[in-house]
Structure 1
Amino acid sequence: MEYIGEHLLPGQLGHFLAVLSLVASLIATIAFFKANKIIDIPEKESWLRFARVAFFVETIAVFGIFLTLYHIISNHYHEYYYAWNHSSRSLQPQYLLASFWEGQEGSFMLWNFWHCIIGWVFIWRNKKWEAPVLTVLSFAQFCIATMLVGIYLFGWKVGNNPFILMREQLGDIPLFHNPDYLNFPRIKEGNDLNTLLQNYWMVIHPPILFLGFASTIIPFGFAYGGLINKDHTWTKASLSWALFSAAALGTGVMMGAAWAYESLSFGGYWAWDPVENASMVPWLILIAGLHTNLIYNHSSYSLKSTYFFYIGSFILVLYSTFLTRTGILGDTSVHAFTGADMTEQLYLFLNIFIWLTTLVATHTLKEKYIVLASAVVITGLYFLYPVFALASCLAGFGFLFYFLNKYIPSIKKEESTYSREFWMFIGALVLFLAAIIITYQTSLPVINKIFNQKHADPEDREFSYNQIQIFIAIIIGMLTAVTQYFKYKDTPKPFFFKKLLVPTIVSLAISLSISIFGNINYDKHGPGFLGAIHIAIFAAVYAVVANAMYLWIGLKGKMKAAGASIAHVGFALFLVGVLISSSKKKVLSENTTGISVFEKTKDQDPAENITLFKGVRTDMGKYDVTYVRDTANEFDRKKYFEIRFTSKDGKEQFYLYPDVLKNNKGQEGFAANPDKQHYIWGDIFGYATSWVGSAADKDTASFRSIGIKKGDSTFYSNGIIVLNNVVVNPEKFKREVLPGETPVMLDMTVISKDGRKYPLTPGFAINMHDSSFRNLPDTVIAQSLIVRFDKLGDGDTGKLQIGIKETSNLNDLMTLKVYEFPMIALVWIGIIVMVIGFILSLIQRVKRVKMTAV
């Protein structure tokens, strides 16, 4: 059948490039591996040239795949399933790239894209270690390439082809019996990008995060090169790459936190979501490896640890990929990929990297046979009995640890407890411990699935992590504060204590001031946890002060060598911001209306969500809040709410504009994006949790004027309104008025036909300075009734003038959740300062390497 409007050439080209990428990466792997094994220089150079040609072809193929798929998506060629499933014609242009990496195939392409760039930079910068490191990198590209070919091998599907046609993906269904199927509205429009991802952070966060993921292969490649060549001189060359990887991955992870804070309704920047954790754990291990690398370069201690941490960091990146792309976290994380199951393939590659690394750590033929046999048996058993999934990974790591401990040289002499390397190593172990604990908690869905268990997610997920990690924070904060004051190998005790005396006193003074005057009274989890918070605040402040002072005491203001201290200051500022903003985080939106729009759930409590009716000023603690209006933006398809906040003293007024976007892809409900009012001292953060629109398109009702005296009553459509009294300057009314105003209130009662009674207190406020008049209407929501006090009556009748309005627009309501985040700016400032410190250290390290080479 001839189909109308299909563009087949881009797909054919894209699939050809995917196969070319697979073949070229395999050839490059073999060629680099061969070049690394050859001793003869001319022959080695010949193999290296051949390997570079293969790697160049691989690069062209990867870039070609990237551009071809983007061409398909941007031109809305919805005959291709990937383009149809992840984009739509109504999608904003800036989100087309987000559509590219919404799916698994696109994210794998992004990963390979960064591998190509990193590979060429490495070839240009480091000739000595090119062969072993590029062997690993090319093999990783081969593994990723298999994810994109979508071919069957002995009945087993290898990867998913992103260039597959709709009619090939969905099979023989009646829709494709029509040659003009592309003009069907559902096909022509597209399936759209997930509403949670329609945000500018989705455009910039994944590329940086995947750059971080991709870059961890270089420290791993150095470790592989050291093991296979039995050459441990790689640690100096690896340091600049580890710094770059730490900066890139750390930035990517924290950009995800900023995305959560700016655009997702988590009520914060970190929710200990499994996917968040899976990206952070490799960074923690990488930082541990970075510190042990420094230890080894200065004192020849901790070489084994450096091997282990660099290998572990990359393996944990693979494990995080396994977690997020197999769908196993689909029920516990809002980030996890689902569908396009590649569980077996990802598990196989994870084990291949673990066991191959273990294999190159062996020295004897017997050991190699034992490792190979164990790998085949234990990994093979997984395909028969899934219970062996974790056993294979853990067994591989166990063998690796054994061989590293057996063959990697180490100094037998114990380090002095007054040496910098000793405490840096302790810090690295603490980071490793934190990573292990987080990994275990994050892996519970995997454990449940493997062992058919039902370990439920804790009711308070955040506290289940925080109750452990706060003690990690205390230790890391203290170590960050004092370690730089030690010298390598040994430090005179008087020198150490003398240098730390002033920072300690200053830190105590600052932290005690925060604890005493900062109103930090987070007692939700008892006095023990509150005490830990105060100790952690001291540790974090100590780290800031001690490292800032070290810039002048230890480095004498030499900023070129201050990268480590600046990074530590940034981390400590981040820690201070996290502790204060989390412990003083407060829900402002306590429901004072008594109206609950939804029932209490695990994620939302109606008591913490204030109900707002359009146009009605509502009390919310220190603010009066008004739902002014809502608008629909046809361009981004979002519904925006305009919420006015007015302080009770009248000195401050600002607006928040949270928005919602209806969920798609079969999901019910809507995605809520918050808005914030930024201050130096903190943020006011709010998002819509529900809303109900009025059936009336336009409110045509108007106020009717009525004259009424004390004791009189008047009618409305569903009952009567009785005026009980007139009160001038009532005590309970003062919260409604501004300085200089005098309120006059009517005490009224609304009695409906069914006998229900409702209090009503309309009034007005007169400014005694300029005689201005401000109306203060009141509302009975249940009766769709608004009453205002217009003016005092004339002397002849003594009647007061009121206005009565009955309107269906009172059915327009929303519920709003509002938080206050004190000192949240310290979190973002700390991240920026920390990354700047990494960059300064990287620049200094690169300069040092250049000088050594000269």
Structure 2
Amino acid sequence: MQYIGENLLPGQLGHFFVVLSLVASLVAAIAYIKAANALVPEEHNSWRKLARISFFIEAGSVFGTFAIIYYIVSSHSFEYFYAWNHSSTSLSVNYLLSCIWEGQEGSFLLWAIWHSIIGLILISKGGKWEAPVMTVISFAQVCLATMIIGLYLGDTKIGSNPFLLVRQHFQDAPIFQRADYLSIPQMKDGQGLNQLLQNYWMVIHPPILFLGFASTIVPFSYVIAGLWKKDYSGWTKIALPWSLFSGAILGTGIMMGAAWAYESLTFGGFWAWDPVENASLVPWLVMIAGLHTHVIFNATGHSLRATYIFYILSFVLVLYSTFLTRSGVLGDSSVHAFTDSGMNFQLMLFIAVFFLPAIYLMARNYTKIPHVVKEESSYSREFWMFIGALVLFLSALVITWQTSFTPIYNKITGKTTAMPEDPEFAFNKIQVFVAIVIGVLTAITQYFKYKDTPRGTILKKIAVPTLIAAVLSLCISIFSGIEYNKQGIGFLGSIHVALFAALYAIVANMGYIWTGLHGKVKAAGASVAHIGFGLMLVGIIIASSNRKVLSINTTGINLAFDPKSKEKSLENLTLVKGLPTDMGKYMATYESNDSTSRHGTVMYFKVNFKNKNGKEEFNLYPNLIRNTKGQQGFSNNPDSKHYFGKDIFTYISYADDMDSEKDTTSFRKYPVNVSDTVFYSNGFFVVNKVVPNPNNDKYKFTSSDTAVMADITVFSKDGRQYKARPAFYVKNNQANYTLDTVFAQNLAIGFGRILDGGKIELEVKESTRMVPFVALKVYEFPHINVLWIGTLIMIIGFVMSMVFRLKQSNRLKVAK
């Protein structure tokens, strides 16, 4: 059948580029193997030339593939499943890139792009390590190309094709029996981007995070090259800047994800130990452990074996995190994991083809790797650096176990073993002690000298920083307070100790720049990074421990949230539109809403906050995004008021305006006399009296008007009482009546008319949708900016160290 309106050329060209990248990367890998093993320089150069040309073609193919996918998505070519499934015509232009990496194919492609760029940089540097290192990277590109090639070998699926047509995906759907299927309404628009990804952080966070993932292959490649070529230590100087770069960029990507969670997810903060968060954190922890043992070896000759192990595991754990997030294993335990794409065997093979050869090479060469037989002195810098690296590694193992065991066990056995009732505390109760140990070691280790330190000097050096940190932490604990007390005094005590350790790291490293480095800031990258890390810990401890819920609900209007939801009715303030509501030191008013989407999928809510002291007033605009992926419900995008010392963090936990149900409830009529009682579902009300021509705070009738008002008291089942004053009046010979609404009881009462015999007719309606209202969650995060400032300083420290090491490496080259 000849289909009308399909543009098949982009898909054909894109698939050609995918196949070309697979072939070119395979040729590059083989040619680099030949070059690495060549014994004659002419043969080496010949194979290297072919390998470089092949890698250039591979890199061009990867960029071409990305460009075509972007064209398909941006041009709304909904004949392609990728565009139809991940984008829509209502989507803002700035989210078109997010559409690409929402899908698995796009994220694999993003990974391959960064590998291509890294490979081109390494090729430009040349040197004896190019061939073995680029062999590993080229082979990784082969593996990534298979992830998006979309072929079947029998019943086995190899990769997922991003250029698949909708009619190929839904082969049996009747609509594709029509040649003009693109003209039907269902094909005029796509499914749209997942609402969680419609945030500016999701335009920049995934590329940075995937650059971090991709960068871990460089230290891994040098390790494999060292084992392969039996030059076990020759790579350590040239690889150290790459390790620093990997630590910096992966850490940046992780904290960008934390910022996204803070601004876009209803975690109620920046970190919730979500499995996908953990999957990115674990490789970083192991990379930092390897970075420290790497520095130890360059300075003393110790810990090279540990460096090999850490760099291998860091990259393998990136591959393992890829399996966790894309296999569907975490589908029930994470808010942003991919679903099962039928590629689980291929994902496991992806891990095996790197891990098993690395382990084999490591085992075969382990005894040949340089190792200092003499143990480190416990008064040496390298001893405590190694202890710190080991603690980071053990922390990573614990997090991996806690993250992986239950979902994988459930997947294998088919059982539904529940996660811990408080999963955050399950992690925190262990990691708080990791923070204490790492904080203390970060503070004192640099005061030790390599190889040995005179026994009497170390205590003198750290005495002043220890005292200052103790005084600071004591002042914060006493005057600012750590108010977290949910898990008992033992855990509270550990938080106070962790605060001291974090402040100790800051103070001691600032002191070391002054006393140990004599103010030489250019050489102080490590100390600056440690200061930033300490500030991060301080921000995490204070912001998380002293987080306050401001939206305590005292209105009596309580929403019943799903029992599986983390929301509690008493922590969500119900705001009726236009009605100022008491919220502690603020009066909060839900003023308006506005749909910014043509299809009404995004709704912003204007909430006014007025401080009761009259000195401050501001508006916040949290929004809800309706799910367009065939699921019910919506996602909450928070908004925050930022101060130097705190954030007011808000999100809408429910809004009736985003509820698709119509209000079909009708009024019921009741003829009553004064003192009569009328029952409703949650109580009853009594007609106290009928007042002619009322003149009060609600009505302004005069003696010349024709009006009557019913004075009514509403009694709810919980013992509360409310007033209602509906009225009936005649104006311009027209009979009119006004409703009075008791919002807390979802009750509207109208004065219908006056009946014979002194009776009146009341019209009564019960409905939850009579007036617009929202449920608002408000947190106060004290000193949250300390966390973000600490992150920035830590990354600056990494960059300073990287620049310093590059300069050292260049000086060594010149000297040779």
Normalised by the length of structure 2, the TM-score is 0.87
Structure 2 CA distance for partners of 1:695 and 1:328, relative to 1, 3 Å: closer
Corresponding position of 2:382: 421
Please list the CA deviations of residues 683-725 of structure 1 after superposition, one character each: whole Å capped at 9, or x if unmatched.
Answer: 111101111249999xxxxxxxxxxxxxx99x9x9865789xx
Asked whether the equivalents of residues 228 and 361 of structure 1 are also in contact (C-alpha less than 8 Å), the reply is no
Q: Distance in 1 between matches of 2:408 and 2:661?
A: 50
Asked whether the equivalents of residues 239 and 293 of structure 1 are also in contact (C-alpha less than 8 Å), the reply is yes
Which aligned pairs between 1:127-206 and structure 2 lie closer than 5 A? 127-206=127-206
Corresponding position of 1:508: 470
Structure 2 CA distance for partners of 1:722 and 1:210, relative to 1, 3 Å: farther
One-letter amino acid of the structure 1 residue matched with residue 638 of structure 2? P
Please list the CA deviations of residues 149-178 of structure 1 after superposition, one character each: whole Å capped at 9, or x if unmatched.
Answer: 111224422111111111222114321111
Structure 2 CA distance for partners of 1:839 and 1:749, relative to 1, 3 Å: farther
Asked whether the equivalents of residues 327 and 341 of structure 1 are also in contact (C-alpha less than 8 Å), the reply is no
One-letter amino acid of the structure 2 residue matched with residue 86 of structure 1? H
Please list the CA deviations of residues 790-836 of structure 1 after superposition, one character each: whole Å capped at 9, or x if unmatched.
Answer: xxxxxxxxxxxxxxxx9998622111111111110011001000001
Q: Distance in 1 between matches of 2:40 and 2:240?
A: 29
Corresponding position of 2:401: 440
Q: Distance in 2 between matches of 1:597 and 1:473?
A: 39
Which aligned pairs between 1:674-753 and structure 2 lie closer than 5 A? 674-693=638-657, 720=687, 750-752=712-714
Report the alpha carbon displacement of residue 90 of structure 1 after superposing the two structures with TM. 1.4
One-letter amino acid of the structure 2 residue matched with residue 628 of structure 1? E
Q: Distance in 2 between matches of 1:73 and 1:303?
A: 48
Please list the CA deviations of residues 19-50 of structure 1 after superposition, one character each: whole Å capped at 9, or x if unmatched.
Answer: 11111111111111111112222211111111
- Count residues in correspondence: 746
Asked whether the equivalents of residues 715 and 722 of structure 2 are also in contact (C-alpha less than 8 Å), the reply is no
Corresponding position of 2:459: 497
Q: Is 1:19 the counterpart of 2:19 in the alignment?
A: yes
One-letter amino acid of the structure 2 residue matched with residue 294 of structure 1? V
Q: Is 1:619 the counterpart of 2:582 in the alignment?
A: yes
441, 445, 449: which one pairs with 1:483? 445
673, 695, 701: which one pairs with 2:637? 673
Corresponding position of 1:639: 603
Please list the CA deviations of residues 303-353 of structure 1 after superposition, one character each: whole Å capped at 9, or x if unmatched.
Answer: 000000000000000000000011111110011011422100010111111
Report the alpha carbon displacement of residue 760 of structure 1 after superposing the two structures with TM. 5.5
Q: Distance in 2 between matches of 1:506 and 1:637?
A: 54
Asked whether the equivalents of residues 749 and 759 of structure 1 are also in contact (C-alpha less than 8 Å), the reply is no
Report the alpha carbon displacement of residue 780 of structure 1 after superposing the two structures with TM. 5.6
Corresponding position of 1:395: none
One-letter amino acid of the structure 1 residue matched with residue 223 of structure 2? A
Q: Distance in 1 between matches of 2:287 and 2:746?
A: 63
Q: Distance in 1 between matches of 2:203 and 2:63?
A: 18
Corresponding position of 1:835: 795
Q: Distance in 2 between matches of 1:491 and 1:270?
A: 39
The 3-state SS of whatever aligns with 1:683 is: strand
Q: Distance in 2 between matches of 1:696 and 1:194?
A: 22
Q: Unaligned 5+ residue runs, structure 1? A: 364-402, 698-711, 724-747, 763-776, 788-805
The 3-state SS of whatever aligns with 1:568 is: helix
Report the alpha carbon displacement of residue 654 of structure 1 after superposing the two structures with TM. 1.8
Q: Distance in 1 between matches of 2:42 and 2:514?
A: 52
Name the stretch that deviates more: 526-535 or 653-662.
653-662
Q: Distance in 1 between matches of 2:722 and 2:747?
A: 14
Corresponding position of 1:73: 73
Asked whether the equivalents of residues 555 and 744 of structure 2 are also in contact (C-alpha less than 8 Å), the reply is no
Q: Distance in 2 between matches of 1:157 and 1:55?
A: 26
Asked whether the equivalents of residues 522 and 530 of structure 1 are also in contact (C-alpha less than 8 Å), the reply is yes
528, 542, 545: which one pairs with 1:580? 542
Corresponding position of 1:565: 527
The 3-state SS of whatever aligns with 1:645 is: strand
Q: Distance in 1 between matches of 2:748 and 2:532?
A: 55
The 3-state SS of whatever aligns with 1:642 is: strand
Q: Is 1:468 the counterpart of 2:430 in the alignment?
A: yes
Which aligned pairs between 1:224-243 and structure 2 lie closer than 5 A? 224-232=224-232, 233-243=234-244
Q: Distance in 2 between matches of 1:536 and 1:14?
A: 53
Report the alpha carbon displacement of residue 752 of structure 1 after superposing the two structures with TM. 4.2
846, 851, 854: which one pairs with 2:806? 846
Corresponding position of 2:125: 125
Q: Distance in 1 between matches of 2:65 and 2:745?
A: 60
The 3-state SS of whatever aligns with 1:612 is: strand
Corresponding position of 1:396: none
Q: Distance in 1 between matches of 2:434 and 2:113?
A: 36
The 3-state SS of whatever aligns with 1:594 is: coil
Q: Distance in 1 between matches of 2:435 and 2:596?
A: 44
Structure 2 CA distance for partners of 1:248 and 1:119, relative to 1, 3 Å: same
Q: Distance in 1 between matches of 2:801 and 2:81?
A: 46
Which aligned pairs between 1:81-92 and structure 2 lie closer than 5 A? 81-92=81-92
The 3-state SS of whatever aligns with 1:101 is: helix
Structure 2 CA distance for partners of 1:778 and 1:834, relative to 1, 3 Å: farther
The 3-state SS of whatever aligns with 1:666 is: coil
One-letter amino acid of the structure 2 residue matched with residue 537 of structure 1? L
Structure 2 CA distance for partners of 1:238 and 1:807, relative to 1, 3 Å: same
Asked whether the equivalents of residues 20 and 61 of structure 1 are also in contact (C-alpha less than 8 Å), the reply is yes
Structure 2 CA distance for partners of 1:179 and 1:473, relative to 1, 3 Å: same
Asked whether the equivalents of residues 484 and 545 of structure 2 are also in contact (C-alpha less than 8 Å), the reply is yes
Corresponding position of 2:328: 327
Report the alpha carbon displacement of residue 75 of structure 1 after superposing the two structures with TM. 0.9
Q: Distance in 2 between matches of 1:212 and 1:832?
A: 16
Q: Is 1:649 the counterpart of 2:613 in the alignment?
A: yes
Report the alpha carbon displacement of residue 505 of structure 1 after superposing the two structures with TM. 1.1
Q: Is 1:456 the counterpart of 2:437 in the alignment?
A: no
Structure 2 CA distance for partners of 1:454 and 1:168, relative to 1, 3 Å: closer
Report the alpha carbon displacement of residue 120 of structure 1 after superposing the two structures with TM. 0.8
Structure 2 CA distance for partners of 1:546 and 1:123, relative to 1, 3 Å: same
One-letter amino acid of the structure 2 residue matched with residue 580 of structure 1? I
One-letter amino acid of the structure 2 residue matched with residue 563 of structure 1? G
Asked whether the equivalents of residues 758 and 780 of structure 1 are also in contact (C-alpha less than 8 Å), the reply is no
Structure 2 CA distance for partners of 1:779 and 1:153, relative to 1, 3 Å: closer
Q: Distance in 2 between matches of 1:237 and 1:696?
A: 63
Asked whether the equivalents of residues 712 and 724 of structure 2 are also in contact (C-alpha less than 8 Å), the reply is no
Q: Distance in 2 between matches of 1:696 and 1:442?
A: 38
Q: Is 1:96 the counterpart of 2:59 in the alignment?
A: no
Which aligned pairs between 1:296-307 and structure 2 lie closer than 5 A? 296-307=297-308
Q: Distance in 2 between matches of 1:33 and 1:427?
A: 37
Asked whether the equivalents of residues 85 and 191 of structure 1 are also in contact (C-alpha less than 8 Å), the reply is yes
Please list the CA deviations of residues 100-129 of structure 1 after superposition, one character each: whole Å capped at 9, or x if unmatched.
Answer: 111000111100000000001111124221
One-letter amino acid of the structure 2 residue matched with residue 640 of structure 1? Y
Report the alpha carbon displacement of residue 501 of structure 1 after superposing the two structures with TM. 1.4
Superposition CA RMSD, Å: 2.8
Structure 2 CA distance for partners of 1:454 and 1:497, relative to 1, 3 Å: same
Report the alpha carbon displacement of residue 453 of structure 1 after superposing the two structures with TM. 4.7
Asked whether the equivalents of residues 22 and 145 of structure 2 are also in contact (C-alpha less than 8 Å), the reply is yes
Q: Distance in 2 between matches of 1:753 and 1:469?
A: 52
One-letter amino acid of the structure 2 residue matched with residue 59 of structure 1? A
One-letter amino acid of the structure 2 residue matched with residue 246 of structure 1? G
Structure 2 CA distance for partners of 1:753 and 1:433, relative to 1, 3 Å: closer
Which aligned pairs between 1:374-393 and structure 2 lie closer than 5 A? none
Q: Is 1:266 the counterpart of 2:267 in the alignment?
A: yes
Structure 2 CA distance for partners of 1:68 and 1:226, relative to 1, 3 Å: same
Q: Is 1:543 the counterpart of 2:505 in the alignment?
A: yes
Corresponding position of 2:355: 354
Asked whether the equivalents of residues 760 and 778 of structure 1 are also in contact (C-alpha less than 8 Å), the reply is no
Normalised by the length of structure 1, the TM-score is 0.84
Q: Unaligned 5+ residue runs, structure 2? A: 663-674, 679-683, 691-709, 726-739, 751-764
Structure 2 CA distance for partners of 1:818 and 1:237, relative to 1, 3 Å: same
